[in-house]
Structure 1
Amino acid sequence: MKRLYLAIILLLTSFIYVIHKVTQERLYLKKFSFNAENPVKLDWGSIRIDTGFMENTSDSYYYIWMTPVYFLILIALVLTITTFIKRK
């Protein structure tokens, strides 16, 4: 049971770390000692990456939809909860 708790904590910690890194407003490029705008924007429905191929157009954005992530998190939560329910 302790291993399950540890696995859940590690999973949540890694998820929080990724969210924190993706949502930073500015990125520090240490090779150039330069602060740049973050091309990644995160909202509840998608992750948007500005590729910069076309200026001032929405065609330059690459979208990663968050629906599969939410579905997998829901399955993980259901599986975790069912491990704690005692069967008769």
Structure 2
Amino acid sequence: MRDALLTKYFHHGRSMTDHDALLSAAEVAGLDLARAKAVLASDAHKDEVLDRHAQAKASGISAVPVYRINGEIIPAAAMPNS
């Protein structure tokens, strides 16, 4: 799913808030489309998503991708100091 989403976003310029793009990525990833549609039409995972967002924000994460190594947050584009 991750690869399908990244391809849709970076290679095809699709928004990750566009349900058609999300469903297309789900199809490429081999997910059950009926279930994916049902999830998108509901608030089934809303609390979990908001909680994870709040945790990331509290940890100082404001963009993706980001890595956490030994508790230190390192943005993917960061270059180590010499």
Instruction: Tell me the TM-score normalised to structure 2 length.
Output: 0.27
Larger radius of gyration: 1
Instruction: Tell me the TM-score normalised to structure 1 length.
Output: 0.26
